[in-house]
Amino acid sequence: MRIISYNVNGIRAAMKKGFIDWLKTDPADIVCLQETKATKDDVDVKQLEALGFHHHWYSAQKKGYSGVAIFSKQKPDHIILGNGHKASDDEGRVIQMDFGDIRLINAYFPSGTSGEERQGFKYQWLDEFYTYLSKLQKKHPKIVLLGDYNIAHHEIDIHDPRGNKNSSGFLPEEREWMTKFLNSGWVDSFRVFHPEPHRYSWWSQRFPSVRLNNKGWRIDYICVTEALKKQLTDADIYPDVKHSDHCPVYIELK
């Protein structure tokens, strides 16, 4: 089973840049999107259905903002919209599915780049989500948690650690949260297979040359619980797929 996580930064914009043609290449069995910025009714879903995808959406109450979706070739056994935290659910940040004994969670973590208020919201969201996941792990030992985490964990995960030491997404508190999270029974799947530097999943759109010169951040993750580590057969990043300022990341599970 191949699973992709992809922040499309607006699915309608991505579709204009060849997103559907890319899906036709059969990149994965399950494709999880963040920042869809749309509802199901805004999109020509017949194109997805023609490719054999079941599709489930969880959109923000605010139009054109946030939102997550999962497209899967296999019909899920169970679908959960949100995670029961109102502020998060109002912004359409989490959608969950069960496939057999595996719980798949697609999450769009908040960004704190727009100011102190949103940074505060991000810290609150991280704390609530950590507690939520800790309880969930007791019921579901096998979990895949993927999405745009909006955190570069280590210096290796960002092109300019010194210059960004005070930037949201690389602040000490955020990085400490990531360490605490991974130490609580989770595995960063990409690093199981790729210890090398200069591997990123997001590049600022402010300067077009940034992606060309690979001055990026690795903020998109697929983490699995320890119980699933032995089932990992591959994980990687697709930097050449360009429908967004992010690129897709994937894992393969046996």
Q: Is 108 a catalytic residue?
A: yes
Considering 108, 200, 221, 250, which one is annotated as catalytic? 108
Residue 206 has a pLDDT of: 87
- Of 101, 194, 190, 88, the residue nearest 140 (C-alpha): 101
Q: What is the pLDDT of residue 25?
A: 98
Q: Residue 106: which of 73, 139, 80, 138 has the closest Cα?
A: 80
CATH for 90: 3.60.10.10
| pLDDT (0 to 100) of residue 51 | 98
Active-site choice (148, 157, 188, 245): 148
| Contact residues for 17 (Cβ-Cβ < 8 A; gap 6+) | 242, 243
Please give the tally of structural domains in the chain. 1
Q: Where are the alpha helices (DSSP H) in the chain?
A: 11-16, 19-24, 46-50, 86-90, 116-139, 172-182, 189-193, 209-212
**Cα(69)–Cα(117) distance, integer angstroms:** 26
| Res 208: pLDDT | 79
pLDDT at 64: 96
Residue type, 78: H
Is-contact 112 169, C-beta < 8 A?
yes
pLDDT in tens, the chain (254 residues): 999 999 999 999 999 999 999 999 999 999 999 999 999 999 999 999 999 999 999 999 999 999 999 999 999 999 999 999 999 999 999 999 999 999 999 999 999 999 999 999 999 999 999 999 999 999 999 999 999 999 999 999 999 999 999 999 999 999 999 999 999 999 999 999 999 999 999 999 888 799 999 999 999 999 999 999 999 999 999 999 999 999 999 999 99
Q: Which domain holds residue 172?
A: 2-253
For residue 93, give the H/E element and its range: none
Q: Is 250 among the residues known to form the active site?
A: no
